[in-house]
Amino acid sequence: MPTHYVYLILAILFEVVGTSAINVSNGFSKLVPSAIGIVCFFAALFFMSLVLKVMPVGIVYAIWAGLGIVTITLIGFVVFGQKLDMPALFGIGLIVAGVLVINLFSSSTTH
């Protein structure tokens, strides 16, 4: 796997952990989850900046946001007990389809 994809996966993972931490920070009123969230977002942006050296910003952001949305949605369901209706699930399915189309068929994924 190319290094920039490893960095992109790390950026997504840090963003998801950061979002999860902020979810339990109670509006930044709990110190530990707030600090975890902030550190994770800095790490996510750092790794994303490395990916941007070899991939266009629009493609990076589409993959980062799309996979982040899907992952945090699964965490919301499993960890936080959040439920989604069929239109929400359909929309998330379209996001996954978009990320797959970009990665499988676009020649824009690298400079």
Q: pLDDT tens-digit profile of 23-42? A: 999 999 999 999 999 999 99
Which pLDDT belongs to residue 102? 85
Which pLDDT belongs to residue 99? 86
Helices (H), the chain: 3-24, 31-51, 57-78, 86-105
CA dihedral 95, 108, 49, 17 (to 10 degrees): 20
The helix/strand/coil state of 74 is helix
Chain-centroid distance, C-alpha 3: 18
* pTM to 2 decimal places: 0.86
What's the structural domain count of the chain?
1
Which pLDDT belongs to residue 106? 84
Question: In the chain, which residues have pLDDT < 70?
Answer: 110-111
Question: Residue 62's domain spans which residues?
Answer: 3-109
